[in-house]
Structure 1
Amino acid sequence: MGIAACDLSQHVIRPTLLYLGCHCAVAEALLLGTAASQSALGSALDDRRGQGLYRIPEQRHLQLWDRYLARDPELASRVRGLASQHAFLAAPHLELTVNLRYATAIAWLLIEAERIELPAADDLLGLARIWRQVFQPQGQLCDFLDAWQRWVGQFSRVA
């Protein structure tokens, strides 16, 4: 069993985006849908395709640090501030599994690094296209839409 969509949104995604200074409804919806699609909101955190809530491959994690965060020391410092003090140095990729706010920041920055024009927060097909482009190039748009309906749909009708 994963994390309830409302709890993930309220206690992890929204505070992380606010901390990074980039909170908006579409970013929150996109990350929530991505977590639903990638790991069923945390039901499966360890997978050969990637680690954690967003199933981020180690190579993508390294590339983000080397190609994107290295060019913005202030942002890199903020993101590093989310990571565990000592554990990050010993096993940086493990942070993607055990540290939900760090993983959320990395997931958002993978999206931001692509410089993609974001759709409206309620444009599920637009969100699915971004998910496929950034996280699951071999995925089908219906995979995102189905995961949204299964894991997030009830929350989004109540919220």
Structure 2
Amino acid sequence: MTINAVDLTEHVIKPTLEYLGMHTPAAERLLLGTAAQESGFDPFCQHNQGIGIYQISSVQHWQIWDEYLAFQPDLASKVRGLASQHQFLQDPDQELKTNLSYSTAIAWIIYLRSENQLPAADDIEGLSHFWDNHFCHQQQHHPQDFASWINAHTFAA
């Protein structure tokens, strides 16, 4: 099952970033390109050790909580608010597969914790290198793949 890129942007990425108070067109475009590269918009794909539409590993998921969100209580509360109460307590990693808003928030925080300046939305080369430096999980993917995908899709970010 794949998800339409426009629907993912309008119904998941944009509202999640707005909820977190961190929406920008560049963040939107970066997360959309990330989902395209990491899973091909399939939340149930299993490449390498990744889970969900962004292919976040269990180790990476826990590092976000233990090494970043533990020190950002307001942001941690918002992210936890996106997770389903029962499922998160039983199997937090399952949220990465079944809860698109939660996995989008975790993916964004992977970028956020780098503390590097996000390139502008129209700087496709910059965004592709940002993805490659801070997120890319698959050795066969390169910044050019990310940039080519973004350039080939003309819908607004």
TM-score normalised by the chain length of structure 1: 0.90
* 1:17 matched residue in structure 2: 17
Contact 1:42–1:53 under 8 Å retained in 2? yes
Corresponding residue of 1:143: 145
Q: Deviations over 1:51-93 (max 9, x none)?
A: 1111001111100100100001111111001001111111101
Structure 1 residue 88 corresponds to structure 2 residue 85: no
Contact 1:46 1:97 in 2 (8 A): no
Match of 1:48, SS?
coil
Q: Which has the higher helix share?
A: 1
Partner residue, 1:67:
67
Aligned pair count? 155
Structure 1's 75 and 43: CA in aligned 2 closer, same or farther, altered over 3 A? closer
Cα pair distance change 1:87/1:36, threshold 3 Å? same
Instruction: Tell me which moved more, 130-139 or 27-36.
Output: 130-139
> Structure 1 vs Structure 2: percent identity of aligned residues?
49
The 1-side partners of 2:44 and 2:90 are apart by 23
Shift of 1:145: 2.3
Q: CA RMSD in A?
A: 1.7
The residue type equivalent to 1:146 in the other structure is: S
Gapped runs of 5+ residues in structure 1?
none
| AA partner of residue 30 (structure 1) | L
Q: TM-score with structure 2 length normalisation? A: 0.91
Superposed structure 1 runs of 4+ greater than 6 Å apart: none
Aligned partners of 2:4 and 2:14: how far apart in 1? 14
Question: Relative to 1, partners in 2 of residues 1:91 and 1:44: Cα closer, same or farther, differing over 3 Å?
Answer: closer
Cα pair 2:43 2:52 within 8 Å, conserved: no
For residue 47 of structure 1, report the CA deviation from its aligned partner.
Answer: 2.6
For structure 2, the residue ranges without an aligned partner over 5 or more in a row are: none
CA contact (8 A) 1:36 1:148 kept: no
Alpha carbons 1:37, 1:148 under 8 Å: kept: no
Three-state SS of the structure 2 residue aligned to 1:46 is coil
Distance 1:91 1:45, change over 3 A: same
Quick check: 2:33–2:149 contact (8 Å CA) kept in 1?
yes
